[in-house]
A and B are shown apart, each in its own frame.
Chain A
Amino acid sequence: METVVFRNILLSSAALALGSTAAFAQDIVQSKSSWYTDAEAALNQRLEHQPNTNRAKNVILFIADGMGVGTNYAIRLYAGQQNGEYGSEHVLPYEAYQDFPNVALVKTYNINAQTPDSAPTAGSMNTGVKQVFNTINLSENAVHNECASEEGNKLTLFSELMSEMGKSVGVVTTARITHATPAAAYAKTANRNWEGEAPEGCTDIATQLVDQMKAGVVDIAMGGGRRYFLPETVTDEEGKKGRRKDGHNLVNEAQDAGIQYAWNTETAKALNLEGDTPVLALFEDSHMKYEHDRTEADEPSLTEMTKTAIDYLSKNDDGYYLEIESGRVDHANHDGNAFRTVTDGVEFANAVAAAAAMTNPEDTLIIVTADHEHSIALNGYCGRGSPILGLCYDIGKGQVKHADEPVLADDGKPFTVIGYLNGPGAVLKEQEDKSYSGSRPDLTEEEAEDSEYVQQALIPMSSESHSGEDVAVWARGPFAHLFDGVIEQNYIFHVMNHAANAE
Chain B
Amino acid sequence: MSGVQNLTSTSKSAASIDRAKAQGRAALIGYLPAGYPSVEDTIAAGIALAENGADLIEIGIPYSDPVMDGHVIQAATTEALAKGFHVRQVFDIVRGITSQTDAAVLVMTYWNPVVRLGVDEFSRQLAEAGGAGLITPDLIPDEAAEWMAASDKYGLDRVFLVAPSSSPERMKRTVEASRGFVYAVSIMGVTGARSSVSTAAKDVVAAAHAAGAERVCVGLGVSNADQVREIAAYADGVIVGTALVVAIGDGGVDAVASLTKDLSTGLTREEA
User: Is chain B found bound to chain A in the same assembly?
Assistant: no
Which A residues fall within an 8 A CB radius of B? Answer: none
Which B residues fall within an 8 A CB radius of A? Answer: none
